[in-house]
Amino acid sequence: MTSLLDAACDLFETLDAEAAIAEEAGTPMTDRAVALCRDAGLYGTMITRDAGGAELTIGESLDVFKELARADGSTGWVVMASSTAAAYFSAFCPDSFVQQAFGDGPAPLVAGQFAPNGVAVPDGDTYAITGAYNFGSGIEHADWVGCGSFTAPTDGTPADYMFAVVPKEEANITGNWDVLGLRATASYDYSIDSTVPADRTFSFGGHTRHRGGPMYDLGVLCLTEVGHAGWVLGVLRRAIDEAALIARSKQRMTGKTTLADDPRFQYDLAMAESTLQSGELWIRDAFHRAEQHAMAGGGIDPAIDNDVRQSTTFLTQQACRVVQDLYLHIGTTALRGGPFQRCFRDLHAGSQHAMVSPAHTFEFAGRLLAEPEA
């Protein structure tokens, strides 16, 4: 175990209890949960060592994100989203910004959407960025807020897809988070209208690694998927465990045995476990091959990106199906608040993210499979 995984394991009961408080109150992650994760260094899981982070391997990062999501889907989501976003900037931005944002303190919290919803007009060594964004997971507690945009050059050069961050106080947060699941992520809408120094930006497809190991050469898509993969592994693990726990004491209205004795439930519970175990093997194999590719000097590769994305998307979509089956067995117990219901809602909410969208993922995967061999 890494020290960060130990910390995540040690925080399980506390984060679970804090999640229940946030659920009951209908609020974002509690200040205590955020502080505990920050003090333990969990937001620094994927940040480069040179910027003060842990720079864990992909496999180690999966373990940490899985354990946090097992405690609570919203907590796991916010930490993985911040850690992966901060990782990009820690690896791809110049020293001037890294010293400002990362300094000597705990890892900065980064929230925001990096879809290219904005326009960035260059002006010397700054950009005037305007845009409206959604899904600012963790923005309530963030230090920096991210924004994706296309540049609008005035010299005739092609537009570039660019990532940038601004201090949280420069983001106009507009709310709009009345949702099925992942409620405590407080993934609010926001808008940006800021002048952003160039050292707070990098090109999505043309960035340069200034620090950190070869893992960062895999690029934004692959590194982002690490968080989503760890997250679904953790939430599905918790959902299965909670279903089994409920079944041991639950009796149907006219039944004389517990749900755990029902062969139909046993079958679906085993199918859920099989889905998790087989999906985890595929995910870990895909990321292992990605890491080996990077260690051998490889960079961004569409086939590598597809492999990690396809495995993660497949498990996410299948997780919703097998947990739905368990929900139907559990009956009215699942209508009431508790960890199983929270997992059920969080899985269905998380499955709507673009990074695990079947439409985006499987159509591209199918095109790759259908291409003639070289």
Residue 363 shares a structural domain with residue 219: yes
What pLDDT is attached to residue 254? 78
Residue 83 shares a structural domain with residue 142: no
What pLDDT is attached to residue 169? 98
Distance CA 355, CA 367 (A): 18
Residue 194 shares a structural domain with residue 221: no
The amino acid occupying position 130 is T
The DSSP code for 121 is E
Residue 201 has a CB neighbour count (10 Å cut-off) of 25
pLDDT tens-place string over residues 192-211: 999 999 999 999 999 999 99
Whether 38 is covered by a domain: the verdict is: yes
Please give the model's pTM, rounded to 2 decimal places.
0.97
Residue 224 shares a structural domain with residue 345: yes
The CATH number of residue 268's host domain is 1.20.140.10
Half-sphere exposure of 204 (CA within 13 A, CB side): 17
Residue 355 shares a structural domain with residue 235: yes
Report whether pLDDT(121) > 90.
yes
Residue 160 domain boundaries: 110-203
Residue 134 shares a structural domain with residue 68: no
Residue 57 shares a structural domain with residue 180: no
Residue 154 shares a structural domain with residue 199: yes
The CATH number of residue 196's host domain is 2.40.110.10
Report whether pLDDT(1) > 80.
no
Residues pairing with 98 in the sheet: none
Q: How many residues can be counted in the chain?
A: 374
Residue 24 shares a structural domain with residue 133: no
Q: Which two tokens stand for residue 345?
A: 């809602």
Q: Which of 71, 101, 131 finishes a domain?
A: 101
What pLDDT is attached to residue 372? 78
Q: What is the mean pLDDT of residues 100-126?
A: 95
Whether 209 is covered by a domain: the verdict is: no
Q: Which of 146, 175, 203 finishes a domain?
A: 203
Whether 208 is covered by a domain: the verdict is: no
Percentage of the chain beyond pLDDT 70 is 99
pLDDT tens-place string over residues 288-306: 999 999 999 999 999 999 9
Q: Which of 80, 101, 122 finishes a domain?
A: 101
The CATH number of residue 89's host domain is 1.10.540.10
Residue 234 shares a structural domain with residue 366: yes
Half-sphere exposure of 257 (CA within 13 A, CB side): 6
| Backbone conformation region of residue 315, classed left if phi is above 0, alpha if psi is from -120 to 50, else beta | alpha
Residue 184 shares a structural domain with residue 276: no
What pLDDT is attached to residue 84? 98
